[in-house]
Amino acid sequence: MTRIQLPDSIEAAPAAARPLLEGVKKMLGSVPNLFRIAANSPAALEGYLGLNGALAKGSLKPQTRERIALAVAQFNGCDYCLSAHAYLGKNLANLDDAEIAANRRGTSNDPQAAAAVRFAVKLVRDRGQVTDADVAAVRMAGYGEAEIVEIVAHVALNTLTNYLNEALGTPIDFPVVSAKAA
């Protein structure tokens, strides 16, 4: 059960959020509950959409972005984001079940992606306090400066949605995946 209002339609959302939600609907074909609950603060919704959109144009491959999202959601125990990213990982990024399971364990079956996922989990676990060796390991796996910065930004973006969904009790509107089942 949600702890704050979940607008049941675009029209029920604050006026300033409506054009943003219309954009989400145009892009995705529907408005998932994450966006509807974030719409309670048009500024927060706009900030999330802006960072998400900017990072989508970045250097990291979509598969790596989904892998990071799965690992961060698992670590943070966010069933909403696990459900959403398992669905997106499988249906948009073409990750198979074995890869999704590996990502949830904080790794990948792809050696290069494994370095990014491990780094992402370390960022979350150690609250950003990584070592020179941690950064060097990602660099040695073939990631450049821009990609390393984007890994950090994706961790922040996914942590935002994890906290938003967990704190506010966003109802899951994807096939349900539970962090406890990993």
Report pLDDT for 29.
94
At 76-133, the pLDDT tens digits run: 999 999 999 999 999 999 999 999 999 999 999 999 999 999 999 999 999 999 999 9
The yes-or-no verdict on residue 69 having pLDDT over 80 is: yes
Tokens in use for 110? 């792809």
Q: Distance between CA atoms of 166 and 82, rounded to whole angstroms?
A: 12
Q: Where are the alpha helices (DSSP H) in the chain?
A: 18-28, 33-38, 42-56, 62-76, 79-91, 97-104, 111-125, 132-140, 145-168
Q: Distance between CA atoms of 49 and 55, rounded to whole angstroms?
A: 10
Report pLDDT for 65.
98
Query: Between vectors from CA 149 to CA 146 and to CA 103, what angle results, nearest 5°?
Result: 105
Contact 94, 63 (CB under 8 A): yes
The yes-or-no verdict on residue 181 having pLDDT over 90 is: no
The pTM score is: 0.96
Compute the average pLDDT of residues 1-30: 96
Report pLDDT for 182.
59
Q: Report the chain's mean pLDDT, rounded to a whole number.
A: 97
In 3D, which of 167, 168, 166, 3 has the Cα closest to residue 79?
Answer: 166
